[in-house]
Chain A
Amino acid sequence: MGDVEIGVRGLPIVASRVDVIRGATLVLDALDVTIAPRSRTFILGANGAGKSTLLRVLHGLIEPTRGRVTWGHSATRPRGQAMVFQRPVLLRRSAAANLRHALALGGIRGREAQRRVDHALRSVRLEAMADRPARVLSGGEQQRLALARAWALAPEVLFLDEPTASLDPPSMRAVEAIVNEIQATGTTIVMTTHHLAQAKRLADSIVLLHDGRVAEHTDATVFFREPRSAAGRTFLDGERL
Chain B
Amino acid sequence: MDTISQSFALALHMVAHLDPRLAAIVGLSLAVSLTSTLCSAVIGLPLGAALAIGRFPGRGPVIVALNAAMGLPPVVVGLVVYLMLSRAGPLGELGLLFTPPAMVIAQTILIIPIIAALTRQTVEDAWTEYREQLQSLDASWLQSTLTLLWDTRWSLLTVLLAGFGRAAAEVGAVIIVGGNIDGVTRVMTTAIALETSKGDLPLALALGVVLITLVMALNVGAHVTRQWARARLG
Residue of B136, B139, B147 contacting most chain A CB atoms (<10 Å): B136
Contacting residues, chain B, for A30 (C-beta < 8 A): none
**Would you call the interface of chain B mostly helix, strand, loop, or mixed?**
helix
Q: Tell me which of A61, A93, A105, A133 contacts B139 (CB under 8 A).
A: A105
Chain A: minimal CB distance from B208 (Å): 38
Q: Tell me if A59 and B232 are in contact (CB < 8 A).
A: no
Q: Tell me if B137 and A102 are in contact (CB < 8 A).
A: yes
Q: For the complex, what is the distance from the CA of A104 to the CA of B130, rounded to whole Å?
A: 17
Instruction: Decide yes or no whether A117 CB sits under 8 A from chain B.
Output: no
- Known contacts A91-B151, A101-B147, A105-B138; A134 and B130 CB within 8 A of each other: no
Contacting residues, chain A, for B133 (C-beta < 8 A): 83, 85, 89
What's the tally of chain B residues with a CB closer than 8 Å to chain A? 17
Q: For the complex, what is the distance from the CA of A134 to the CA of B232, rounded to whole Å?
A: 10
Chain B: minimal CB distance from A187 (Å): 15
Chain A: minimal CB distance from B181 (Å): 46
Chain B: minimal CB distance from A114 (Å): 18
Annotate A81-112 by CB proximity to B: 1 below 8 A, 0 otherwise. Answer: 11101000101110000000110011000000
Q: Tell me if A59 and B234 are in contact (CB < 8 A).
A: no
Contacting residues, chain B, for A101 (C-beta < 8 A): 147
Q: For the complex, what is the distance from the CA of A154 to the CA of B136, rounded to whole Å?
A: 14
> Number of residue pairs across A and B with beta carbons under 8 Å?
46
Q: Tell me which of A56, A85, A92, A153 contacts B234 (CB under 8 A).
A: A92
Instruction: Decide yes or no whether A38 CB sits under 8 A from chain B.
Output: no
What's the tally of chain A residues with a CB closer than 8 Å to chain B? 21
Q: Tell me if B136 and A61 are in contact (CB < 8 A).
A: yes
Instruction: Decide yes or no whether B233 CB sits under 8 A from chain A.
Output: yes
Within 8 A of B (CB), among A120-157: 133-136, 153
Closest to B129 in A: A89
- Known contacts A89-B132, A91-B151, A92-B151; A105 and B137 CB within 8 A of each other: yes
The 3 closest A-B pairs by CB, nearest first: A135-B234, A89-B133, A83-B136
Chain A contacts to B: CB under 8 angstroms: 56, 59, 61, 79, 81-83, 85, 89, 91-93, 101-102, 105-106, 133-136, 153
Given contacts A79-B138, A89-B129, A105-B137, 7 further A-B contacts (CB under 8 A): A59-B136, A82-B136, A92-B151, A92-B153, A101-B147, A102-B137, A136-B232
